[in-house]
Amino acid sequence: AQVRQGWLYFNAKLFFISTDKKSWPESRQECKKKGGDLVIIKTKEEQDFLVQQLGNSKAWIGLNDKGTEGIWKWVDGTVLTTEYWTPGEPNNAGNEDCAEIWGFQGKEGWNDMPCGNKGKWICDKPAS
């Protein structure tokens, strides 16, 4: 992908994958500081692109069910339509209200995790 100041250009959006690790709320703040937000994934193309970029790692995405258990919402307030959970997820294994994306081979997809856990994160913003 084309790189612009640390952001990756793909399908009219810019994506930033951190190397630092932070909680989900802290990760979201970092994205906002850079003029974006945690990533919203609505197409298979974007999902596959991010899995490819992650390689054998994982990162927070802009999806949570903090408001109502089991009702997953994107950071822009929209509800889930197309879902890319990894098989067996979300399992709320110990109060898991925030979502991450796995690039792990054979387990590609989303997983719910405790929001306070520290992980890498992915931001997006419009390319225009």
Smaller CB distance to Ca ion: residue 27 or 111? 111
Q: Which of 111, 119, 122, 123 binds ligand 2F8 (CB under 6 A)?
A: 111
Tokens of 113: 């995790």
Contact 19, 120 (CB under 8 A): yes
Give 60's contacts (C-beta < 8 A, 6+ positions apart).
24, 27, 28, 38, 98, 99, 100, 119, 120, 121, 122
Q: Which stretch binds ligand 2F8 (CB under 6 A): 3-11, 17-25, 89-97, 120-128?
A: 89-97
Contact flag: residue 116 with ligand 2F8 (CB under 6 A): no
| For ligand 2F8, the closer CB: 15 or 24 | 24
**Do residues 58 and 104 make contact, with C-beta atoms less than 8 angstroms apart?**
yes
Report if residue 124 touches ligand 2F8, rule: CB under 6 A. no
Q: By CB under 5 A, is residue 111 in contact with Ca ion?
A: yes
